[in-house]
Amino acid sequence: MKRVFTIVLCILLAMTMAAGCSSQAAAPAANDQDVIKIGVFEPLTGANAAGGELEVEGIKLANELYPEVLGKKVELVIVDNKSDKAEAANAAIRLIEKEKVTAIIGSWGSSLSMAAGAPIEENKVPTVGASCTNPLVTKDNDYYFRVCFIDPFQGTVMARYAYNNLGAKKAAIIQELSNDYAVGLANFFKEEFVKLTGDPNAVVEIANYQTNDTDFTAQLTNIKGKNPDVIFAPGNFTESAMIVKQARTLGIETPFIGGDTWETDEFIQVGGDAVEGVVFSTFFDPSAALTPETKVFLDAYAKAYPNRQPAAVTALGYDAYLLILDAIERSGTTDSVAVRDAIAATKDFPGAAGPITLDENGDAIKDAVIKTVKDGKFTYMDTVKAN
C-alpha cells in the first residue's frame, strides 16, 4: 500500500516538475513585450460546461484567423470557472493579477459574469461578455460590455412580432420562474405588448413553472380557459418543448413563441411534430449572412468542425474577440482605460452575428433573427431591425 502511494506521489511530483520546467522554458522564448494577452474565463467544467465550451470554440477560431494586433501576437489565456460563482471571481482576479491581461472575454451564464464584475471594475480591465443576457451584468459597470442583445430587447421583439405579424390582441405567458433569463424576457414582453395593444389587460395569464418540471397540465388548462391569441413561453428548451407538446395534446392550437434558448437539437427531439411552426427570436442564422464577416466565420467553422452547425454563442464568442482586437487597434495601445474607451465607442462593427453598436450601458444594439421550426429543422424567417 505504502509503495503504491509513494509511486503515485512520485508521478505527481514529476508531473509538477515537468509543468514547472516547461513554463519557465517557454517564458523567455515569448517576450512579454511582444505578446498581448486576452483572458477568457468560461465554465469548462460543471453544470454550464457545454455552453462555455461552445463559446471558447468561437474565441479560439477568431484567434486562429486573427492572431495579431499592433504587430504583436495575441495570446489567449483560458481559465475554467467551474460554473461556480466564487471560482468565477477567482478566475477573473487571477487573469488580472497573475496574467496581467489587457482585456477579458466571458462568461457564459450571467451570474458568473456578475460575480466577476466587481473585481473587473475595480481593476479597470475592459471585459466583453459573449452571451450573458441579464441586464444587471453591464448596468453600473463601466468596464463590462457585451456583444449580445439583452433580455428586454428580445422580449420587445417578440411582443412586436405577436402584435404585428400574428395580429394578436390577447397573450398568455408561461415562464420558467427560476431562470433570470425567462423572467426578464416575460417581463419586457408584457410591457411592450400592453403598450402596443393599449389594453392594460392584454396579457390574460402569467403562469409559472420551475426548472425540471415535467407536468404543465394545470398551467395550460388555466391558459386554455382564458383563450389567448398567442402564448409566449420563454425558458429552458426541454421544458418548453414539453409545454408545447402537452398543449397540443390538450387541444390548444394557439401559436407558441419563445426565445433563443429554444435553438437546440434537443428542442426538436423532445417536441417532435408538436413544435412545428413555433417561432422564436435568436442572434444569428448561418443562412442569412448579416455581414461579410459571417461568411469568413462560417467557412472557418466548417473547416475546423466539419459536420456541425455553428451555435449562436460560438459566433458571439468570435465577435467578442474581434471587438476587443478592433478596440486595441483603434486605440493603438494596450492601456486598459484607452481600450475601454475604444470599446465603448464601438459603432456598426461588422461582427459574424450581425453589426454591433454599443449603447451607453455597454449593451449591443443589434438586429434579432426570427426563426421557426419547419419539417423538423430551424428555418430562417425574418430579421428584425434594432430600432
Partner 1 sequence: MKKQDKILTVILLAALFIFLIIANLFLDAYIKRVLNLCAIYTILALSMNLINGFTGLFSLGHAGFMAIGAYCVGIFTLPISVRPANFYIEPMHPAIANVELPFFVALLLGGVLAAFFAFLIGAPVLRLRDDYLAIATLGFSEIIRIVLTNMQSITNGPLGIKNIPTTANMWWIYGVTLVTVIFLVLLISSSYGRAFKAIREDEIAAQAMGINLFRHKILSFMIGAFFAGIAGGLYASMLSTVDPKNFIFTLTYNFLLIIVLGGMGSVSGTIISAYIVTAGLEIMRFFDEPLSIFGVSIPLFRPGLRMVIFSICLMIIVLFFRNGLMGNKELNWDMLRGLFSKRSKRIKGGEAR
Binding residues (CB under 8 A) for partner 1: these are 1, 5, 8, 12, 18-23, 26, 42, 44-45, 47, 49, 56, 77-80, 82, 85-87, 89-90, 93-94, 96-98, 111, 114-115, 117-119, 123, 134-136, 139-140, 177-180, 182-184, 187, 210
236 vs 331, beta carbon nearer partner 1: 236
Residue 150 makes CB contacts below 8 A (sequence gap 6+) with: 133, 134, 135, 138, 184, 363
26 vs 33, beta carbon nearer partner 1: 26
The answer to whether the CB of 54 falls within 8 A of the CB of 317 is yes
What minimum distance in Å lies between the beta carbon of 112 and partner 1?
A: 10
45 vs 165, beta carbon nearer partner 1: 45
What minimum distance in Å lies between the beta carbon of 343 and partner 1?
A: 21
Query: SS3 for the chain, per residue?
Result: CHHHHHHHHHHHHHHHHHHHHHHHHHHHHCCHHHEEEEEEEECCCCCCHHHHHHHHHHHHHHHHHCCEECCEEEEEEEEECCCCHHHHHHHHHHHHHCCCCCEEECCCCHHHHHHHHHHHHHHCCCEEECCCCCHHHCCCCCCEEECCCCHHHHHHHHHHHHHHHCCCCCEEEEEECCCHHHHHHHHHHHHHHHHHHCCCCCEEEEEEECCCCCCCHHHHHHHHHHCCCEEECCCCHHHHHHHHHHHHHCCCCCCEEECHHHCCHHHHHHHHHHHCCCEEEECCCCCCCCCHHHHHHHHHHHHHCCCCCCCHHHHHHHHHHHHHHHHHHHHCCCCHHHHHHHHHCCCCEEECCEEEEECCCCCEECCEEEEEEECCEEEEEEEECCC
97 vs 265, beta carbon nearer partner 1: 97
86 vs 304, beta carbon nearer partner 1: 86
Omega prior to 107 cis, within 30 of 0: yes
What minimum distance in Å lies between the beta carbon of 335 and partner 1?
A: 20
The answer to whether the CB of 223 falls within 8 A of the CB of 207 is yes
97 vs 266, beta carbon nearer partner 1: 97
21 vs 70, beta carbon nearer partner 1: 21
275 vs 313, beta carbon nearer partner 1: 313
Could you give the C-alpha distances from 216 to 81, 84, 143, 206, 323, in angstroms and in order?
Answer: 34, 30, 41, 13, 42
What minimum distance in Å lies between the beta carbon of 323 and partner 1?
A: 22
What minimum distance in Å lies between the beta carbon of 8 and partner 1?
A: 6
115 vs 244, beta carbon nearer partner 1: 115
What residue has cell string 495575441? 74
Phi and psi torsions of 210, nearest 5°? -105, 155
What minimum distance in Å lies between the beta carbon of 368 and partner 1?
A: 21
What minimum distance in Å lies between the beta carbon of 136 and partner 1?
A: 5
What minimum distance in Å lies between the beta carbon of 49 and partner 1?
A: 8
What minimum distance in Å lies between the beta carbon of 259 and partner 1?
A: 15
What minimum distance in Å lies between the beta carbon of 167 and partner 1?
A: 28
